[in-house]
């Protein structure tokens, strides 16, 4: 802890060069991950604040799955974590790799929704799975 104080002081006075953060490269995967992160952030906030009445009107089966406040909080924090992970991938310019790594998660989530009888959300998960896979493979093809 003491050495960290000295490192900060030496960095402030210019004895140690501080690393520079790379600029964000806004390619197709980065834009898609930003869109998906905003969606997750908004829905995460909805579930964390408990303003879920309109969400349950459009999808009544969801009300049976998230029947108590603890499950809503769990879903909200999970969605907020996904949004933060997406923003971290954008900032570090690895959105294409993030897209490839997020593909199996959407597949498994879609299978879980399908088994529980929620066909509409399962199809939505699989559409995002295909989009994630396409943007991830696109980034491999472009070489970034």
Give residue-wise pLDDT tens across range 6-18.
888 887 887 777 6
Rounded Cα distance between 60 and 38, Å, is: 24
> Within a 10 A sphere around the Cβ of 120, how many other Cβ atoms?
12
**Cβ(66)–Cβ(72) under 8 Å?**
yes
**Quick check: 144 and 27 in contact, CB under 8 A?**
yes
Q: What is the pLDDT along the chain (144 residues), one digit of tens a residue?
A: 678 888 888 878 877 776 777 788 899 999 999 999 999 999 999 999 988 888 888 877 777 777 888 999 999 999 999 999 999 999 999 999 999 999 999 999 999 989 988 888 899 999 999 999 999 998 877 655
Of the candidates 99, 108, 109, the residue with the CA atom closest to the CA atom of residue 131 = 99
pTM > 0.75: yes
Distance CA(140)–CA(143), nearest Å, equals 5
CA 6 to chain centre: 37
Domain boundaries, the chain: 27-142
**Alpha carbons 85 and 94: distance in angstroms, whole number:** 11
Count of CB atoms situated within 10 Å of the CB of 45: 14
């Amino acid at each position: 802890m003491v050495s960290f104080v000295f490192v900060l002081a030496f960095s402030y006075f210019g004895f140690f060069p501080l690393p520079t953060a790379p600029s964000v490269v806004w390619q197709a995967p980065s834009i898609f991950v930003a869109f998906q992160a905003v969606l997750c952030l908004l829905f995460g906030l909805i579930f964390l604040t408990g303003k879920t009445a309109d969400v349950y009107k459009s999808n009544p089966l969801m009300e049976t799955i998230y029947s108590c406040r603890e499950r809503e909080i769990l879903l909200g924090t999970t969605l907020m974590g996904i949004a933060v992970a997406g923003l971290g991938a954008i900032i570090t310019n690895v959105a294409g790799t993030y897209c490839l790594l997020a593909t199996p998660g959407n597949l498994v989530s879609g299978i879980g929704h399908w088994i529980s009888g929620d066909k509409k959300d399962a199809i939505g998960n699989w559409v995002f799975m295909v989009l994630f896979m396409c943007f991830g493979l696109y980034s491999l093809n472009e070489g970034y």
